[in-house]
Structures are given as C-alpha cells and as structure tokens.
Chain A
Amino acid sequence: MTRRTPPLLNRSSSIRPALGAAVGVIALALIGTACSPVEPAGSSSGSTQAAAGQDVFGDPADPAQVKAGGTLTVALSADPDKLDPTLSRSLYSRYVFHTMCEKLYDLGPDAKIVPQLATALPTVSADGLSLTIPLRQGVKFADGTTLDSNAVRISINRGLTLAGSARKSELGPISSVETPNPQTVVIKLSKPFAPLTAALADRAGMVLSPAAVAKLGANFSSAPVCAGPFKFASRVAQNSIKVVKDPLYYDAAKVHLDAIEYRIITDSSIRSANLKSGDAQVADSLSTQDAPSLQSDGNMTVLQSQSLGYQGLTINIANSNGVGNPLKPLDTPIAKDPRVRQALALSIDREALVKSIFNNLNTVACGPISPKSEFSSEAAQVCPPHDPAKAKQLLADAGVNTPYKVTMIASNNPDSIRLAQALQAMVKEGGFDLVIKPVEYASLLDQQDRGDFELLQLGWSGRVDPDANIFNFVGTTGSQNVAGYSSPEVDKLLTDARQSLDKTERIKLYGEVVTKLQQDDPLIYIYRQRNLTGVSKKIQGIQVYPDGVIRTAFAGFTK
C-alpha cells in the first residue's frame, strides 16, 4: 500500500505515512472498481464433457465403493455471506447450508420439488389459503433438541419479522403459522400464493434450532445450529468455512465424510489448478477456458447443469427516478418506441453468439422460462429469428436515423466484456452503434437501481418457480423492475398466474406473458448459463442440480 518513509526531522514526520496508508486503501478501492471479481454476469459457462445442451448432474455415491472418513475440500469462487438462513442472500451460502440446514422441501435433479424435512408435499385447501405440511419424526438439531412444528413456526416467523430478513418477500402473504400437533404445520395465507412451496425448498424452508435462535438472536450466523448431515465447526473470515459430520443426523449412515472445508479461491484458473494438484476435490463456476483441460484429464469429471435463470439486456424505459419510485418515461427512441427495441432484439444472432463466445456450451434464451422448467411450454420457448434487414426496416419505420447510438453498461469481468464486444459487432448490421461502458459489479447495481443507464447487460441466476424469475423484473411493482416497464396486460397475467392453483393454467398464462414480453422487449433475453463444477474422481457422490447448488453432503472418497 504505502512505503514507509525514513524518519524525517520535522513535525509532519508521522502524518505522511499514516495519511498515506489511508489514501492507499482508498486508491486500492478505486482501482478495485476496475477489476472486481464479485458475482459477474457471465462468469461461468459451458463445458465439453457432454454434448451441447446436455446436463451432467453426477450420481449418488455407491456405499460399496466409498470409504468412511476424510475431509472434502471444495474450492468456492466467492465467500458466502452470513451463515443465517434468514439473513443470507448469496448463492454460495446455499452450498454450505445444504450440508447443515435441511429444508422442508428440496429439489430433485429434474427440478421438481420433493419432501426433505416434510414427509409429503403440502396439502392445499380448496381456497388456496391454507397449506398443511406433515413433518418427519425423530429429527434432532445439532444441539440435541428436537425438531418439531414449533421450531418450523419459529423459523418461518423469524423469516417474516427479523430486521433485514431476506426471506420476507419469498414467504409471500403468510398471515399465520399454526401447530395443531408436533408433527404438523399449517400455514395460513391472506391470499393464494403458488410460489410458496418452491420458496420452502430454499432458505425460507430451513428450520433453525429455537434454542440457538433464543441464545444468539440476530448473531445466529456466529454459531448456526440446524438439522443436517453436518454441523458448523469454524469459519476464517474471507478464507474458509468448515463443517463436521453430525452424529445426531437422522440418516447418519448415509454420511461418509468426516468434514467438508469450503476454501474461497476467487480466480477460476487457480481453482482449476487446486483441483488438479489435489488440494481441492471440487471446484465451482469453472470458466470455458479451464473446462476443456479438466475434461481431458482422466482424473476429473465436469458436472453441468443448465441454469434456471438467464442473461440479457435490460432497456431503461421509464426508470428515471430510481427503482421503487414513480415511473417517468425517458425521452429516447429506444425507451419510447417498442419497434426500436424489437429492432435491437432482431439484430442479435443468439445462435452465433453462443457458438462463438461460449463454444456452443451455453444455450440460447429468448424468454425468462428455462426449457428445463416444469412450467415451460411451446409459447414460452418461441424465439424470434435473427433478421438484421427487418431490424433496419423497423428503425426506419420508427423514424430513427442509423446508425442509432445506444450506450450499454456491463460488468467489467472478461466474459461480460467479450459478450459486449460481440454484441457491438453484431448489432451494427441491424443499424445500431453500441457503445460499451464496463463497470464494476457493485457500481453496476448502483447505476441500475438509480436508473442511470440506457441499456445494461446483466442476468439472473434463476429460481424454481417462474414467478420469481419474471414478476420482480417486468411487473409494474416488481422490486427489480429496473427497466421501468409497465403493462397492465402483463401485470394481470402474472397476478393470475401467481394466484392460480392449476398448473396447466399457470403454464398457459406464462406462455402468454412471454409472447407479450417479446412484443414490448423491456428485457431482451439472450442466453442461459451452464453451471460447471469440476470434480476429482477420487470422490464420489457429488451432484449439481438445476438450482445451481453443489450437493456434497453424501459424497465419499473412493475406496
């Protein structure tokens, strides 16, 4: 940071270095804004192991082929945030939670919801206002206390009321949680809310030890206690997290490892090197550059799972006052005229982009619903063809002079910049002059929320229920409607889909939403990422599901 100056023979001798230290750190921070590794938009992409579009989730460990014991080291690309299911917001904390905090429901490899701490899917009342959940019996928390309906009630209420809770919006319009007996939970809603079961298959459905909650309060993350195959052991700030086998776990015979250490290694190449050297046995978020070499290594496997999210371009239509404030349309052709946005969408050759930038490993996306989702339909997967001539015609019809200059902000990580440059070259043919402004991730979020952009490239990691992938982004009152888009028709379709208990009806409604979104184009969907995880063949039973969470709890070292 700063260099220590020789002692000076004047009064300012100690002022300079100390101020230098302060200025040094700020300078570092400013430099940092140009080279952030934080949650990039396109940091991980395909692999070469399976054919394009083919998922490799990994298989469960064969108990006859794995030995008991050993510590698994997982190289993680980012540091998880608070280890408190109520307050946690990062994907990476979910990797750790899955080993020590089981949920009422989980996700299967087919992206379908399955019971975990519950024994069956919820029974929903005819009016959709009551969900009855039967609980597994004989489950103990890591502190030895019993998991019952009261613990579930306390955990859900905590999610609804704790200051800074990240679960509140996921839990929806819950009016009360009732516990008719220790093995049954009844959730009462003020209005029907179909996405609730999916939310209970994530952090909102994790059950915390009431004793630990009472003891630690908002500092639960300092020594989290849940029910799971492993329990929290230690954490070294910004560096590592360790969990150890919990002998009290109800299915302890399935647990082979003694401990799992999550080691934070932000650089993708170094994660791969750690995998090859044997210092780590699992590494997440591999890059396209590293995946092929791991693939050709006989000692490695690359797991692939297509994301339920998307990467795309958001156009600022009416976000002049910042998200959450009253909408005020921008006075630019691309904000005012849907034809200009359609022209931009038609100028993008998604197939070519995926092929040239991501070696055909990611997949084309033209809407918010993944083809892997059980809510996908033909209408949801319609994709307007690449047609630069029509794009030019639309620009002419809209009375826009070409080349039409549009400025795009994008995350400054190498993958995003490569994507932006390819787009820049591509949309030229359609009559656009794309100017790229790379920005560090935290600054990008800031600009996005303030509405300080014309066009921005960013994605969404995806959730199981389509509502969580659409409503917040294009609903008029959506918490992340950074485009400032407002369509009464789309709002109605989304609200109906949200409140419908009929899956077929929801599929149809989401199909109609996609059709309407492709006419208005507030968000141009481009591609879907593939989560890539490198796994050493010394370990068996590592699995990755469409929710992007790496399952390590039931893995074991090969005999």
Chain B
Amino acid sequence: MKRYLLSRLWQSVVTLILATIVVFAGVRALPGDPALALAGEDRDPESLRAIREQYGLDDSLLVQFWQFVSHAARGDLGRSIRTGEPVGSMIAGALPVTIELSILAILVASVIGVGAGVVAAVRRGRPAEWAANALALLGLSVPNFWLGLMAILYLSVALGLFPASGFVPFFSNPIDNLHHLVLPALILGTGLAAVIMRQTRSSMLDALSADYIRTAEAKGLSPRAVIGKHALRNSLIVVVTIVGLQLGALISGAVVTERIFALPGFGKLTVDAVFQRDYPVIQAVVLVTATAYIVINLLVDLLYSVIDPRIRVRGDA
C-alpha cells in the first residue's frame, strides 16, 4: 500500500508539472501579450517596454517559468497585471461563488430531471412523456446564453421576480444571496436537467420491467410505493453517476452563466483573464484547477484501492 501510495503521489507531481508547462507555453503562444492588452489604444513603444520590464515579460521564457514556479511553490501566485490585485485573493473570492452556483444548479437539475424522467417513464406513450421529451430536447439544444437573456427579459424585466445581475455573499444575507442565484442556477441547471431526465427515464423503464417490480406489484404494493421505493431508488444509482460525470460540463457552463448575470465567479475570472492576456491569473487558475483535479483523482483512486485490493496489487506491479 505504501509503495502504491508513493507511486500515485509521484504521478501526481509529474502531472502537475506537465500541466504547468502546457499552460505556461500555451498562454504565451496566443497572439498579443499582457502589455498590448493593458495599454490598449494608449500604447506607445516606450510604455510597452516599461510594462514588459515591470512584469518581467521581456525575460527569457525559462526565467519567467522559474519565477512563476518558484513563487507558486511558496504559495505566491503573483498579482494581476491588469488590476494589480493579488491573484490568490482573486481566486479565493471567486471559487465559493462558482461552487455555490454549481451546487444549486445540481439541486435544480436533479429535482426537475428526476421528476420529469419518472413522469416520462410511468406515462410512457402519453402526452406527459412527449412533453417531458420535448422539454429535454429544448434543454439540451437551447444555448445557456439565449436562455439567460430570455429569463432576464421575462422574469426580471417584465415580472420583476428576480434580480437581473449582482451577487450578495451567503454569509452577509442568505436570503438575498439565494434570491440572486435562483435564475443563474435555473439556467445552468437546464442542460443537466435534460441529461438527468433522459437517464432517469431510461433507467426507470428498465427497472419497471424488472422481476422485482412484478413481485412488488404482485405483493399488492401501491403504485406509488412500487415506483418511489423500488423502481426509482434502483434507477438513481446510474443517475448519480451521470451527475458526477457532468460536473466538468457544469463548470464550463458556469463560465457563460456567470458572465450573463455578472456573478464574480471562477469561470468569469478565467475568461476575462484570457481576453486580457493576464498571464498570472490564467496560470494560477489552471494551476488551481489542475491541482484540484489531481487531488480528487488521487483520493478516488486511493479509495478504490482500499475497496478493491486487486487494484492495489496491479498498482504495485
């Protein structure tokens, strides 16, 4: 187990270094640089030189890479070239917003998706199923951007039910916080709800034709108990797996949603940094994301090895 753990840790470190190199080289391969993006229309060769010198952009790539890695190793992610703010605090401020938005979106998607999926399976071939299918198709095919705009126009502008933009931290006012996040979570959850609905429907159909359901019905259980306690509970295993797999898609969806509703989240931070060629922010965002992925994967792999000793043995080989 110790050898397995060491080997997995070593792999993680190598992966992190590779990811760092890829993003460091990648952002510098983009046309333009932070000095050009920062100077905008007010640029002149002298200012550009001064900005490049100030941020070490005129150093060799190796020197720049070493600066980045050595500072990051000490927990210093640098300062944003555009705003001068410490990148660490920018990320620390943005992450909770995206995490809360994602959790709410999963909740919304699960409630809508599972509900519609059960209805579609139980009312197979009836208008309820067609309606659920049509909704799923819409959810999958309508872009979040358009949906967000429509939600703002009808639910914020016309009906005045929800704020069209802005964010209030949960701990300063929980109710206001949730009020601001209802629309974004609804929009972000739509695509996921469609996926969950289709998966629930198909799992439910499988479950409903299984022997144990027939047995349950033969025992005289009410339809509600058969569907709720037996069929749905068994179907949900696959649904939960699907939700886990959709997490990545959810985070990328948050990029669009955060921009529409002006939420100070991680996705918006990343995209804006890319447009502004804010190297320290882009690098730090990727480093944090990559580290999170590696740690989660490492934990999951270790957990698997605890559950199934064969994995550990193979890992030792």
Contacts and interface: CB of A to CB of B under 8 A. Distances in A.
A235 B82 CA distance: 13
Contact of A1 (B20, B82, B248, B259): B248
B262 A265 contact: yes
Nearest to B94: A237
A494 to B, nearest CB: 16
Interface string B158-196: 001001111100000000000000000000000000000
A7 B294 CA distance: 11
A169 B44 contact: yes
Identify whether the interface residues of B are mostly helix, strand, loop, or mixed: helix
B264 A239 contact: yes
B42 A221 contact: no
Contacts of B20: 22
Given A14-B12, A239-B268, A273 B40 contact: no
Interface in A196-211: none
Interface string A13-28: 1110111111111101
Given A168-B46, A270-B152, A479-B46, A32 B32 contact: no
A238 B269 contact: yes
Given A163-B53, A265-B165, A236 B286 contact: no
Contact of A267 (B41, B44, B80, B259): B259
B151 to A, nearest CB: 10
B45 A479 contact: yes
B36 interface: yes
Given A4-B296, A25-B289, A236 B93 contact: yes
B5 interface: no
Interface in B17-38: 18-20, 22-23, 26-27, 29-33, 36-38
B168 to A, nearest CB: 11
Interface in A1-56: 1-4, 6-7, 9, 11-15, 17-26, 28-30, 32-33, 36-39
Interface stretch (B126-134, B216-224, B298-306): B298-306
Nearest to B25: A26
B84 interface: yes
Interface in B138-155: 148-149, 152-153
A18 B32 contact: no
Interface stretch (A74-82, A115-123, A340-348, A545-553): A74-82
Nearest to B54: A164
Which of B12, B248, B252 has the most C-beta atoms of chain A within 10 angstroms of its own C-beta? Answer: B248
Contacts of B290: 18-19, 21-22
Given A19-B19, A278-B160, A33 B31 contact: yes
B18 A442 contact: no
A157 interface: no
Given A3-B245, A21-B293, A38 B47 contact: no
B286 to A, nearest CB: 5
Contacts of A14: 8, 11-12, 15, 293-294, 297-298, 301
Contacts of A17: 293-294, 297
A9 B274 contact: no
A236 B242 CA distance: 34
B72 to A, nearest CB: 14
A460 B41 contact: yes
Contact of B275 (A38, A269, A277, A449): A38
Contacts of A403: none
Contacts of B252: 1-2, 24
A169 B301 contact: no
B50 interface: yes
A28 B271 contact: yes
A89 B90 contact: no
Contacts of B12: 14
Given A1-B289, A480-B44, A82 B83 contact: yes
Chain A, interface residues (CB within 8 Å), range: 35 or more
Contacts of A75: 165
B277 interface: yes
B251 interface: yes
B213 interface: no
Contacts of A371: none
Contact of B84 (A82, A165, A267): A82
A169 B43 CA distance: 10
B114 interface: no
A280 interface: yes
A169 B47 contact: yes
Interface in A286-343: 323-324
Interface string B234-277: 00000000001111110110010001101110001111111111
A39 B167 CA distance: 25
Nearest to A323: B45
Contacts of A237: 80, 83, 85, 90, 93-94, 264, 269
A6 B19 contact: no
A425 to B, nearest CB: 28
A264 interface: yes
A446 B31 contact: yes
Nearest to B50: A164
B237 to A, nearest CB: 14
Nearest to A273: B152
A121 B190 CA distance: 60
Interface in A140-167: 163-166
A68 interface: no
A248 B314 CA distance: 72
A273 B8 contact: no
Contacts of A82: 82-84
29 contacts: A2-B252, A17-B294, A18-B294, A19-B18, A19-B22, A21-B19, A21-B290, A21-B293, A22-B18, A25-B274, A28-B255, A28-B270, A33-B30, A38-B37, A82-B83, A83-B83, A89-B40, A166-B39, A235-B85, A236-B264, A238-B272, A239-B264, A273-B152, A273-B156, A279-B165, A442-B30, A442-B277, A446-B32, A479-B44
Given A14-B294, A239-B263, A446-B36, 13 more contacts: A1-B255, A3-B249, A9-B311, A11-B11, A12-B11, A17-B293, A18-B291, A38-B276, A82-B82, A84-B84, A87-B84, A164-B51, A273-B152
Interface of B: 7-8, 11-12, 14-16, 18-20, 22-23, 26-27, 29-33, 36-47, 50-51, 53-54, 80, 82-85, 90, 93-94, 148-149, 152-153, 156-157, 160, 163-167, 244-249, 251-252, 255, 259-260, 262-264, 268-277, 282, 285-286, 289-291, 293-294, 296-298, 300-301, 304, 311, 314-315
